Amino acid sequence: MNSLVPILHSSQITTIDVTQLHHDSHTKPLVVKSIHDACQKMGFFQIINHGISKEVTENALGSLSKFFDLPMDQKNIFLFDDVRKPVRFVTNSRDMIKLYAYPVEDWISSWPHNPTDFRENLGNYAAEVRRLSNEIMGAIVESLGLCPTYLRSKLEQGVHMIIANKYPQSSPSSNMLGLSSHTDHSFITILLENMSGLEIMDFTDDNAWKSVPATDGALKVLVGNHLEVLSNGLYKSVFHRVTPSPLMSRVSVGSFLNLAMEDMVEPATELVDEDHPERYRASSLDEYVKFLSFKEEKSYIESLKI
Ligand SMILES: O=C(O)CCC(=O)C(=O)O
Ligand SMILES: [Fe+2]
């Protein structure tokens, strides 16, 4: 790990107990307020008691490790230039595989079948993390003062992508990043990892990079571009990057929640008024995919600002 990057102390990380978001919880308003503050200040929080068992997360990480350890010729079957392919393997400073994951039945037969438990283990995780993403997104929508069912039916038709990464061990003298600074295009990204390595830019501390420790059983939630747009800039998509470890390779699984390809995302009308004019134009996932192929200087979120 880059020794110059300070590690966030657990007291600096908002940790949400998901059971407190359930209907019968008296503490729900307080928890929704914590989510609001975390999304506004850091664009990031972590969740515990989220209902995805250790068996499901470890099996998913295990199958991915086995997949990434396969000889290159077996992974190269999924090597495509076209970013629209529903399954796509990429190898550079890290190995990465993208999987379209909803509805699982529509896509699972195109996923790798080697190792033999890949489809079952990733399928189980994908189904659970999607349910969780919708639950967390419901709380986030509420934290913006919007109706809890806002966007729910559109999100149910939405595109769910899983992007898994394997970062090789770094050489001890290297300062190379495993993944460079970026924000995600999604509403939210839920991140599972086998070890620490994620760093976020801390808006509250002069945009300093901070390393986020791995907490056993916790998943990380990152605010993405489309939530920044929906909130009319109240919530910021968090810049993040990955520093690989000199001790062992790191596997992570991102779950990206989006609307359907052509559905437009724009600032919620409830959050726009004379004092808060619209700050972003409407955009879709399809437009983002096109943007990727243009290799613009500007980031996607910058291109959406009015
Ligand atoms: O590996 C990680 O922890 C982060 C991955 C990530 O940021 C991404 O896939 O967009
Ligand atoms: Fe990311």
> What is the full per-residue pLDDT of the chain (306 aa) written as tens digits?
455 899 999 999 999 999 999 977 889 999 999 999 999 999 999 999 999 999 999 999 999 999 999 999 999 999 988 888 899 999 998 999 999 999 999 999 999 999 999 999 999 999 999 999 999 999 999 999 999 889 999 999 999 999 999 999 998 777 789 999 999 999 999 999 999 999 999 999 999 999 999 999 999 999 999 999 999 999 999 999 999 998 899 999 999 999 999 999 999 999 999 999 999 999 999 999 888 877 777 889 999 999
For the CA of 184, the closest atom of ligand 1 is 10
In b/e form, how buried is each residue of 91-114, taking b as 16+ CB within 10 angstroms? eebbbbbbbbbbebeebbeebbee
- This model of the complex carries an ipTM of 0.99
Q: Helix (H, G, I), strand (E, B), or coil: what is residue 137?
A: helix
Q: What is the pLDDT of residue 293?
A: 78
- CA–CA separation, 132 and 21 (whole Å): 11
Q: What is the pLDDT of residue 1?
A: 47
Return the sign of the alpha-carbon dihedral for residues 224, 118, 105, 148.
negative
CATH class of the domain at 10-304: mainly beta
CA of 164 to the centre of ligand 1 (A): 8
Ligand 1 pocket, Cβ-based, cut-off 6 angstroms: 163, 165, 179, 184, 191, 193, 198, 240, 242, 252, 254
Q: Are 42 and 34 in contact (CB under 8 A)?
A: no
Pocket test residue of 65, 163, 183, 253 for ligand 1, highest count of atoms within 8 A of CB: 163
For the CA of 197, the closest atom of ligand 1 is 3
Which residue has the least CA distance to atom 3 on ligand 1? 198
Q: What is the pLDDT of residue 291?
A: 87
Q: What is the pLDDT of residue 2?
A: 52
CA of 254 to the centre of ligand 1 (A): 6
CA of 23 to the centre of ligand 1 (A): 31
Sequence letter at residue 275: D
CA of 14 to the centre of ligand 2 (A): 19
Domain boundaries, the chain: 10-304
Q: Are 259 and 265 in contact (CB under 8 A)?
A: yes
CA of 79 to the centre of ligand 2 (A): 20
For the CA of 96, the closest atom of ligand 1 is 9
Which burial class, exposed, middle or buried, applies to 40 when counting CB atoms under 10 A from its CB (0-12, 13-18, 19+)? middle
- CA–CA separation, 125 and 111 (whole Å): 14
Residues 6+ apart with CB under 8 A from 70: 114, 115
For the CA of 167, the closest atom of ligand 1 is 1
Closest residue by Cα to residue 139 from 22, 223, 13, 256: 22
pTM: 0.96
Q: What is the pLDDT of residue 207?
A: 94
- CA–CA separation, 291 and 204 (whole Å): 30
Strand partners, 253: 164, 192
Pocket test residue of 240, 250, 288 for ligand 1, highest count of atoms within 8 A of CB: 240
CA of 156 to the centre of ligand 2 (A): 22
